[in-house]
Structure 1
Amino acid sequence: MKKSVLIILAIVFSIAVFSQEKVIIRFQNPDQITFKTFTSAKYDVAAYKPGEYLDIVVTEAGYQKILSQGYQAEIVNTTAQMATNLGDVDDINGYRTYAEALEELQQIAADNPEICKLIDIGDSRGKEYYEAAYGNYEDYQHDIWAIKLSDNVNVEEDEPAVYYFGAHHAREPISTETAFYVLNYLVDNYGTDPEVTENVNTKEIWFVPIVNPDGHEVVLNQLNLDWRKNIRDNDGNGSVTPGSWGYPDGVDPNRNYGWHWGGEGASSDPESQTYHGPEVFSEPELQAIRDLLADNHFVAGISYHSYSELVLWPYGYTSNAVAPDVDAISDLGTMVGESIPGIYGGHYTPEPSWQLYPASGVTDDWAYGNHGIFAYTVELGVEFIPPASQVYQIVEDNLDGAMILLNRINYSTLTGHITNSVTGEPVVAEIFVEGVDDTGLYREPYASDEEFGTYYRMLT
């Protein structure tokens, strides 16, 4: 009798565990009712490609419930498969853990001191907790590291800056691999490739391969492969709560920026994957990026994410929001997208962010709206954690797009210096372009910088 009871309990436990297994399900070519139902409700949207598919993350039990409601959907990925993909790539030098990424950055800087400088730009939420004597965060003592490339890397030169970011979202480690690939390409080819050498000599090129190191750790250690956010302790229990259906802890790093924070496509529910945080720039990881953008004269940048094979540009905070520089910013985004081949043919789809779905408080809107940076999101591949067979192809295929962005300032750019005619000192002044800045569309005005009086306006 006892043996029978144990067997029954084991079966019940197995069913319960199976019902909580996370899967990614796909609605093929969803109509607007389906799209709005699953993007406006409390669902975890994995990816959306207009006219093709909508992917969401649910439990097995949740999937069965959706089917019972009459929806047509299929399972396209599971957390078990994601774990297998992470394991497979251990043999091909990636996906990098935080420790491996930091060691490589340190080695790059040590081997190339004339062009590379490694800079600690801030602390993670986990490190702040540990330093405040919360012992459960011992494994999350992470700094946010940036590496700068320039020919006079220790000098603040009168040069435009470009950035490449990875891992805002924890479950997207392919973004870190792509940032590293571009970084290593530039470092390895400096001094031999004329295009690379010219770019490093005339620009300041910044990489932050892991913006969200605590979340990255959660995924790479397989505590929760669906984790998207940082590890803010929303439930106040003094430790990381992985969650089963909801996600009790964490703030979405790509909903915590200050441009239309708390608007569409962001949630006030702490358990939501798109929780925007208790206030704008509440998270130390985003404060680090905010300050980096404020302290340097960035003109363009890419934040890598996954997935859907898309290139997105501002605005995204509401439907039909148009950037004043729409012609120039969309032209560059289209060139980047059309340069990146898709895994199964075609190329990455270029489009304004809102056309995917509205999302407020995002990197690109803040960078462009507040600083005038031509800021892009590149959604890599066709799943969060691509298998080993696709990793190298994806990162290599994205190199041309990264270089197109880097080279763009070399043409059709209005640039110069504004100085005091008597003293020669730099002057901060608004740079107004007729036909662009008088359309009624809004961003903060372009201005010459305080240190050099320099301005850059990329035009069509």
Structure 2
Amino acid sequence: MNKKMNLLSFCPLSLILITIFCLINPAFSRGGEYTFDIPGRRLLDDYPDKPSIDLTRGYMSNADLENAIMAFGERCSNISRVYSIGRSVNGFPLWVIEISDNPGREEPEPAFKFIGNVHGDEPVGRELLIRLANWLCDNHVTDPLAKLIVKNVHLHLLPSMNPDGYALRKRGNAKNVDLNRDFPDQFFAMNDLEDIRQPETKAIMRWSQRIQFTASASLHGGALVANYPWDGTQNKKREYYASPDDEAFRLLASVYSHSHYNMSMSKDFPGGITNGAAWYPIYGGMQDWNYIHAGCFELTLEISDNKWPNATELSTIWEYNRMSMLNVVATTVKTGVHGRIFSSDTGRPLPASIKIKGINQTVNAGRLFADYHRLLLPGVKYQVTASTPGYKSKTTTIFLEEEATTADFILEPETTNVGQILDTGCHCSGNNRNRLEVGDILAHPQMEVSLVVVVALAFILLLYRRKLCFSLPKHRQIAGSKRPTVV
């Protein structure tokens, strides 16, 4: 009798648990299985559903991938270069293909990166990135979109961030670490010690600090959606958690989704896009780190419902994603505000930062050309401010239409007000009078003649500066943008 009662009391509980489980969205692929606690850095178990040998047939091995990258580099050397950003745990090079009309040479242009195979058991991205590289090589002369990207963007493709995980047919790297949990997190103290980060993670961080990427995307599998920040929440709850550039991120994600064959028609995700934390929060993810620490607008793209589809489906998946991949790269050129920042006294590029009123996120200009590329939502009026220590900030108002706007800034050095103590910079005087009051200088009778000379020199200097402003180093105008304005 007691056994029957226990069984009867267990059945309703089982039914409730089964019902709850069925209601949970099954598309839990982004960065890992869904967890209700804080999914920090941890070792992963070997999953029983690793792909079989038959399922991997038709996919490139790591050696095949390396050969394909090198072959591409030789075939398309006029618009590309191949380089490595580091090595995996097992020593496999993390090969990158850069595509540009001037590969390897820094230019005042936006840079975009694609990263595939973050998780070893999600190999579709590595296949698509090789196809993307070859398509651009074959079409950059005749196709307008391919031509725009090659001429106006430095595109970097990392087909496999996790070659060891791919070789082992499992999600984590060779040390069983989920690489999309291995980055420093903004909400919780994890992965803050550099020594314990994985070599693949360190390579991405160094890469992002060396090259100033405007935007990027990582390619995953197991769902069909474009995911954008934030990925985590401060209170650990599953809820919409917007970043300062939420509108721009929604735009970027929508460009990908609506260019896709059927992503925007998703029944699980309205419009085929989702805020990461609203889907399910993760911590230590690459996406949020890129935006916070590198100023890079990154998306996490789920490009295939099946993590490891049959290789015969790759051509179809490529066709479904091709225009999305091209359009999301082109967005960094075709929208937003772009420009360069100069010093008024030297005319040289001045590395500074760009702030948008009402958006708590700073974008830094490049170190060599002081160029900036700021993604913003079209159809909105913005106040744009350029600033750097030692110079007066300047602000301009722009109305951003569908096409990009170019706004260059000329910043003037900060000057000392009349009446303050001026340092002459000379410390060789025998009477130690190295600091003079401006009022004392003007009190001398000889200054009557000197003032005339000063006024004349000032007038000549003004004419020189006006000439300088119109002879500043020119840079390529962003394709599709309006005529540049100088502030």
TM-score range relative to shorter protein = 0.5 to 0.7
Paired residue type of 2:338:
T
Aligned counterpart, 1:40: 36
Aligned counterpart, 1:198: 148
Task: Quote the Cα distance in structure 2 between the aligned partners of 1:102 and 1:261.
Answer: 37
The 1:412–1:374 alpha-carbon spacing in structure 2 relative to 1, beyond 3 Å, is same
Matching residue within 15, 18, 23 for 1:29: 23
Task: Quote the Cα distance in structure 2 between the aligned partners of 1:119 and 1:281.
Answer: 25
Matching residue within 64, 68, 71 for 1:100: 64
Task: Quote the Cα distance in structure 2 between the aligned partners of 1:456 and 1:363.
Answer: 21
Residues 1:373 and 2:296 are matched in the alignment: yes
Query: Counterparts of 1:65-84 in structure 2 under 5 Å?
Result: 78-79=49-50, 82-84=52-54
Task: Quote the Cα distance in structure 2 between the aligned partners of 1:170 and 1:113.
Answer: 29
The alpha-carbon deviation at position 277 of structure 1 amounts to 9.5
Instruction: Provide the secondary structure at the position in 2 that maps to 1:287.
Output: helix
Task: Quote the Cα distance in structure 1 between the aligned partners of 2:333 and 2:243.
Answer: 22
CA contact (8 A) 1:149 1:200 kept: yes
Aligned counterpart, 2:394: none
Aligned counterpart, 2:387: none
Paired residue type of 2:160:
I
The alpha-carbon deviation at position 110 of structure 1 amounts to 0.8
1:356-406 C-alpha deviation (Å, 9 max, x unpaired): 111111111111112222211111212211123422211221111111111
TM-score relative to the length of structure 2: 0.64
Task: Quote the Cα distance in structure 2 between the aligned partners of 1:213 and 1:417.
Answer: 39
Task: Quote the Cα distance in structure 2 between the aligned partners of 1:200 and 1:303.
Answer: 20
Task: Quote the Cα distance in structure 2 between the aligned partners of 1:368 and 1:360.
Answer: 14
CA contact (8 A) 2:295 2:364 kept: no
In structure 1, the gaps of 5 or more residues are 1-25, 44-55, 60-77, 128-141, 220-226, 233-249, 269-275, 438-442
Matching residue within 211, 215, 218 for 1:300: 215
CA contact (8 A) 2:38 2:282 kept: no
Query: Counterparts of 1:58-207 in structure 2 under 5 Å?
Result: 78-79=49-50, 82-87=52-57, 90=58, 95-127=59-91, 142-207=92-157
Matching residue within 363, 369, 373 for 1:452: 369
Task: Quote the Cα distance in structure 2 between the aligned partners of 1:363 and 1:161.
Answer: 18
1:173-223 C-alpha deviation (Å, 9 max, x unpaired): 11211222222211121212122112101110000001111111111xxxx
Task: Quote the Cα distance in structure 2 between the aligned partners of 1:100 and 1:116.
Answer: 19
1:243-270 C-alpha deviation (Å, 9 max, x unpaired): xxxxxxx22111111233756xxxx8xx
The 1:403–1:279 alpha-carbon spacing in structure 2 relative to 1, beyond 3 Å, is same
Residues 1:229 and 2:172 are matched in the alignment: yes
CA contact (8 A) 1:364 1:376 kept: yes
Paired residue type of 1:332:
L
In structure 2, the gaps of 5 or more residues are 1-19, 40-44, 234-238, 378-487
Aligned counterpart, 1:258: 184
Residues 1:290 and 2:205 are matched in the alignment: yes
Task: Quote the Cα distance in structure 1 between the aligned partners of 2:357 and 2:318.
Answer: 39
Paired residue type of 1:450:
R
Query: Counterparts of 1:288-367 in structure 2 under 5 Å?
Result: 288-318=203-233, 319-342=239-262, 346=266, 349-367=272-290
Task: Quote the Cα distance in structure 1 between the aligned partners of 2:126 and 2:95.
Answer: 12
Instruction: Provide the secondary structure at the position in 1 that maps to 2:359.
Output: coil
CA contact (8 A) 2:148 2:330 kept: no
CA contact (8 A) 1:164 1:206 kept: yes
Instruction: Provide the secondary structure at the position in 1 that maps to 2:35.
Output: helix
1:256-311 C-alpha deviation (Å, 9 max, x unpaired): 11233756xxxx8xxxxxxx697587111111111221112211111001111011
Paired residue type of 1:148:
E
Task: Quote the Cα distance in structure 2 between the aligned partners of 1:387 and 1:229.
Answer: 21
Task: Quote the Cα distance in structure 1 between the aligned partners of 2:230 and 2:348.
Answer: 35
Instruction: Provide the secondary structure at the position in 2 that maps to 1:301.
Output: strand
CA contact (8 A) 2:224 2:304 kept: yes
CA contact (8 A) 1:261 1:280 kept: no
CA contact (8 A) 1:171 1:385 kept: yes
Instruction: Provide the secondary structure at the position in 2 that maps to 1:431.
Output: strand
Paired residue type of 1:86:
T
Task: Quote the Cα distance in structure 2 between the aligned partners of 1:111 and 1:126.
Answer: 29
Aligned counterpart, 1:47: none
CA contact (8 A) 2:145 2:326 kept: no
The alpha-carbon deviation at position 426 of structure 1 amounts to 2.2
TM-score relative to the length of structure 1: 0.68
CA contact (8 A) 2:110 2:333 kept: no
The alpha-carbon deviation at position 105 of structure 1 amounts to 0.6
1:46-65 C-alpha deviation (Å, 9 max, x unpaired): xxxxxxxxxx9976xxxxxx
CA contact (8 A) 2:141 2:147 kept: yes
Higher Rg: 2
CA contact (8 A) 1:413 1:457 kept: yes
Task: Quote the Cα distance in structure 2 between the aligned partners of 1:31 and 1:336.
Answer: 22
Aligned counterpart, 1:46: none
- Taking only the aligned residue pairs, the percentage that are identical comes to 25
The alpha-carbon deviation at position 228 of structure 1 amounts to 1.0
Task: Quote the Cα distance in structure 2 between the aligned partners of 1:344 and 1:118.
Answer: 34
The 1:58–1:27 alpha-carbon spacing in structure 2 relative to 1, beyond 3 Å, is farther
Task: Quote the Cα distance in structure 1 between the aligned partners of 2:25 and 2:110.
Answer: 44
1:303-322 C-alpha deviation (Å, 9 max, x unpaired): 00111101101110224431
Task: Quote the Cα distance in structure 1 between the aligned partners of 2:128 and 2:251.
Answer: 23
